[in-house]
Structure 1
Amino acid sequence: MSHRSTSRTRLAVVCAGTALATFAAVGTATAADPVMNGSWGPFNRCPVDAAELLAANGVEQTPQCVVASSPGGTFKMGRITVTTGKVNVQFGAVQNADGTTTTVGPAGGAIKADAVTVPGGLLGIMCPSEVPVISAICEDLLENNTLNKITATVESAGSPRDFNQYAAIVAGEPIVTVPIKVKLKNPFLSDSCYIGSNSNPILLKTRNAAEPGFNGAVSLGNGTPVPEGEPGDLTTLSFGGTSLTDNTFAIPGASNCGLFGAIDLAVNLKSGIPAATGNSINLGNAKTAVTSLYDGSTVYPDGGQAFSGYWHSGVTG
């Protein structure tokens, strides 16, 4: 059998394994996020019905919703640098009287991000290679470049933690730790090909690159604004006009890429991962917002339940 025929056989085995993995991973579509009224608008994924938030009494424990978003930026992992699309992070928080903070992510994960195209595609992150099964793929990619495209999508790898509300209004202090993993998608990669995992995540600790602008507003429980100086049910603090950055995180190696992880090593070697240092993220034109029960004279003995009811009253579609 010729070298080319042997390569084709190996290639067929990889593709067959990929097809089976992809078929097994097909699931039902998730429901669309709700549309929210007024000040609730940015908080459409807040886990207000999580047990931790519902149990907050509004006195010793104050329930909050937190969101950070960016229209785009850059993300460097080892020798890979991608241009990010829209990124949105949401979670619930309980500010405790002893100064600690309890955080909880939405059931679907705290982070949502647009899929982005990896520069150079699969050729760029694993070719050339002296490993026969990898070189076979590289040869085929050179002949059929339509198979080269690879996309990367950031996904949650655990609930956010270490939320520091004060850090949202200053520069250089980590605001929150967000565990993530990056899914790589290409016909030659299995449907479970990731950089990072739930057990070994990338830990982003983003901070304001400069002191952000600040705005505060009061609204009724359903999110409808009230005139300045009048009491309401919710207080929303918004910060923006700067970038969210971090260059302190490590990048784990790729895993489960190709049949039985056959492509892991090639991806790791060419991409320069695992990488303990030299990684960075910069999310431009970022906006952060926090909403909580109005902190005026109103007392909320069942604060968490009231907060949940307000959120649900703000759903418009």
Structure 2
Amino acid sequence: MRFPPTAPQRRRLLPAAALASAALLAGVTPASAATGTAAPGAPYTGMGNCPLSAPAMHDPANLQVGCLVSVTNAGKFTLGSTVVPFNSPITLQFGFYWDKSAPEVAFPDGSTANQYTVVPPTSAPLLSAPMVQINIPGIQNFLPGITSVFAQVELAGPVTKFTPLATGEPYPVFQLPIKLHLYNALFGAHCYVGSDAAPLLLKPTTGATGATPPMTGDPGTLDYAPDPNGHGALAISETGASLVDNTFAVPGANGCGLLGSLNQIINWTMGLPAAAGKDSVSFQQTNASFVLDTDIADLTAALSDSAAH
């Protein structure tokens, strides 16, 4: 596949905002894991943690390789009867590849898109989410962490089925398993909603969800450019996207209090467990940067040369 692409090829290559996006990193990092020296510059700003040296990225069977970095600046979770707002950015960053098995997804309109395998960063978290505070209904919050609950979103498994070309389609951009770590002076250190075995499986889309009633996202504004230094990489950006999901279920709390003694109280307070259709997530103001290449050596050189200019 040649770069820059023709119009039909762009339909296969251009991404949806992911993450969330699926987050993500808005600023330049002080050092680059990709080059070992300076961080990549425009149009690859923020991609210094892309796992370019990971063995999976160097498999000769790979037909395409790439990096993604994204930041979500607003949004909220609705978990049962509890609404958790995002008041700080959520970031996602990872590498990915498309191998010779050429997995594709077919959409209702007859078009198709490549589906990629995600490779997590080797020196940074794939998901970085802020801790948020949840007020307890009926209790005045005068001692945060005692009269309120702090919640931290954590990964509960690998990100899968990355389909960046699902822009505006009724199909998830990726699948993101998470768990919610709850902190309170009475809860103990292992209080969670969700677990690695029973995660909240998010399937955010910029199109319409499959729930009733559906939620509808927004693919935002898309732009792309060939590598400025003559490499074969294609750089893509997406700004102002909205990714939504209301198809996941939320299990009850686990591990809260001595021998789980507070699990039921938390469930009652938060309205858990909650079946699919009663929960939702909205990732708003999502800005993503994406680069795609047919060769890992060329992609590595593109990021390295961008740091030198």
TM-score (norm 2): 0.71
SS at structure 2 position matched to 1:270? helix
Residue in structure 1 matched with residue 213 of structure 2 by the alignment: none
How far, CA to CA, are the matches of 2:305 and 2:268 in structure 1? Answer: 52
- Contact kept in structure 2, 1:71 and 1:87, CA below 8 Å: yes
Residue in structure 2 matched with residue 212 of structure 1 by the alignment: 220
How far, CA to CA, are the matches of 2:81 and 2:298 in structure 1? Answer: 49
How far, CA to CA, are the matches of 1:291 and 1:191 in structure 2? Answer: 39
Compared CA separation, residues 173 and 154, structure 1 to 2 (3 A) = same
Structure 1, unaligned runs of 5 or more: 1-30, 128-140, 220-224, 296-302
Residue in structure 2 matched with residue 154 of structure 1 by the alignment: 153
Compared CA separation, residues 269 and 38, structure 1 to 2 (3 A) = same
Compared CA separation, residues 110 and 276, structure 1 to 2 (3 A) = farther
Compared CA separation, residues 187 and 311, structure 1 to 2 (3 A) = farther
SS at structure 1 position matched to 2:266? helix
Per-residue deviation, 1:237? 1.2
How far, CA to CA, are the matches of 1:109 and 1:143 in structure 2? Answer: 32
Compared CA separation, residues 36 and 263, structure 1 to 2 (3 A) = farther
How far, CA to CA, are the matches of 2:264 and 2:69 in structure 1? Answer: 37
- Contact kept in structure 1, 2:135 and 2:141, CA below 8 Å: no
- Contact kept in structure 1, 2:253 and 2:267, CA below 8 Å: yes
In structure 2, what residue type is equivalent to 1:93? F
Residue in structure 2 matched with residue 17 of structure 1 by the alignment: none
1:176 to 174, 184, 191: 174
Residue in structure 2 matched with residue 198 of structure 1 by the alignment: 196
- Contact kept in structure 1, 2:41 and 2:303, CA below 8 Å: no
Residue in structure 1 matched with residue 121 of structure 2 by the alignment: 106
Residue in structure 1 matched with residue 299 of structure 2 by the alignment: 307
Compared CA separation, residues 143 and 88, structure 1 to 2 (3 A) = closer
Residue in structure 2 matched with residue 50 of structure 1 by the alignment: 54
Structure 2, unaligned runs of 5 or more: 1-28, 33-38, 104-115, 207-216
- Contact kept in structure 2, 1:109 and 1:159, CA below 8 Å: no
In structure 1, what residue type is equivalent to 2:299? F
SS at structure 1 position matched to 2:204? strand
Q: Which has the higher helix share?
A: 1
Per-residue deviation, 1:80? 0.9
Compared CA separation, residues 172 and 143, structure 1 to 2 (3 A) = closer
In structure 2, what residue type is equivalent to 1:289? S
Matched, 1:80 2:82: yes
- Contact kept in structure 2, 1:110 and 1:159, CA below 8 Å: no
How far, CA to CA, are the matches of 1:312 and 1:202 in structure 2? Answer: 37
In structure 2, what residue type is equivalent to 1:69? V
- Contact kept in structure 2, 1:172 and 1:210, CA below 8 Å: no
Residue in structure 2 matched with residue 116 of structure 1 by the alignment: 132
TM-score (norm 1): 0.69
Per-residue deviation, 1:306? 4.5
Per-residue deviation, 1:44? 3.5
How far, CA to CA, are the matches of 2:31 and 2:279 in structure 1? Answer: 32
1:69 to 65, 71, 74: 71
How far, CA to CA, are the matches of 2:265 and 2:183 in structure 1? Answer: 15
> Equivalences for 1:214-253 in 2 at 5 Å?
214-219=222-227, 225-226=228-229, 231-253=230-252
* More displaced stretch, 77-86 vs 267-276: 267-276
SS at structure 1 position matched to 2:290? strand
RMSD: 2.8
In structure 1, what residue type is equivalent to 2:181? K
Residue in structure 1 matched with residue 111 of structure 2 by the alignment: none
Deviations 1:121-170 (A, max 9, x none): xxx3xx8xxxxxxxxxxxxx889745213211111111110111211x32
SS at structure 1 position matched to 2:51? coil
Q: How many residues align?
A: 248
How far, CA to CA, are the matches of 2:70 and 2:223 in structure 1? Answer: 15
Q: Which has more radius of gyration?
A: 1
In structure 1, what residue type is equivalent to 2:91? N
